[in-house]
């Protein structure tokens, strides 16, 4: 049976933060500290969801919603589960949530060098609308700003 028919998408619990930090660390990624994530779990505007396969977390996604605008802050998939449609599954779910909350536009930023993520977003019809030069403080890499309009729909 395909992995995609056995995935679960649900809100992250506080006791799952260590697991998502391990998933980041195995790829030398660190987006927010454990404490910051735990604080954000109490927020009414920031949301963390995990993707589970056979009861184990294999990825997570974080987004915020302010009025009718969503910002996707991070999408991370466990190393061994990449290229199996897990990020696609999570984005599909997040876009469904966005529509249910009457979000009109989704924004995100991605490193210029992050081709896998750019391909992922372009597959969902996100458009590269702007560039923030020298945006990332660790290596002064440019940030590409992507946007997806949900309403009014792009032709």
> Residue 150, Cα to own-chain centre: how many angstroms?
17
Q: Please report whether residue 28 would count as binding ligand COA according to CB under 6 A.
A: no
Among 11, 34, 123, 128, binds ligand COA (CB under 6 A): 123
Q: Please report whether residue 82 would count as binding ligand COA according to CB under 6 A.
A: yes
Which of these segments, 5-13, 36-44, 82-90, 142-150, binds ligand COA (CB under 6 A)?
82-90
Which of these segments, 41-49, 69-77, 92-100, 131-139, binds ligand COA (CB under 6 A)?
69-77
Q: Is 26 helix (H, G, I), strand (E, B) or coil?
A: coil
- Please report the DSSP string for 1-15 in residue order: --GGGGEEEEEPPGG
Q: Please report whether residue 50 would count as binding ligand COA according to CB under 6 A.
A: no
Tokens matching residue 139: 């290596």
Number of residues that bind ligand COA (CB under 6 A): 21
- Please report the DSSP string for 53-64 in residue order: ETTEEEEEEEEE
Q: Please report whether residue 86 would count as binding ligand COA according to CB under 6 A.
A: yes
Residue 28: left (phi > 0), alpha (psi -120 to 50), or beta? left
Q: Please report whether residue 94 would count as binding ligand COA according to CB under 6 A.
A: no
Could you tell me the CA-to-CA distances from 155 to 76, 96, 149 in Å, in that order? 30, 19, 10
Q: Which residues bind ligand COA (CB under 6 A)?
A: 27, 29, 74-77, 82-88, 110, 114-117, 119-120, 123
């Amino acid at each position: 049976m395909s992995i995609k028919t056995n995935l679960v998408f649900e809100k992250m619990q506080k006791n799952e933060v260590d697991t998502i930090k391990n998933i980041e660390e195995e790829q030398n990624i660190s987006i927010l500290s454990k404490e910051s994530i735990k604080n954000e779990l109490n927020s009414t505007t920031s949301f963390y969801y995990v993707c589970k396969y056979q009861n184990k977390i294999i990825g997570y996604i974080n987004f915020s919603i302010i009025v009718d605008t969503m910002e996707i802050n991070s999408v991370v998939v466990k190393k061994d589960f990449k290229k199996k449609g897990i990020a696609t599954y999570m984005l599909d779910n997040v876009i469904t949530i966005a529509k249910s909350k009457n979000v009109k536009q989704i924004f995100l930023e991605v490193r210029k060098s992050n081709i896998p993520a750019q391909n992922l977003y372009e597959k969902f019809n996100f458009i590269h609308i702007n560039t923030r030069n020298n945006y990332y403080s660790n290596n002064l890499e440019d940030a590409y700003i992507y946007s997806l309009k949900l309403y009014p729909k792009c032709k």
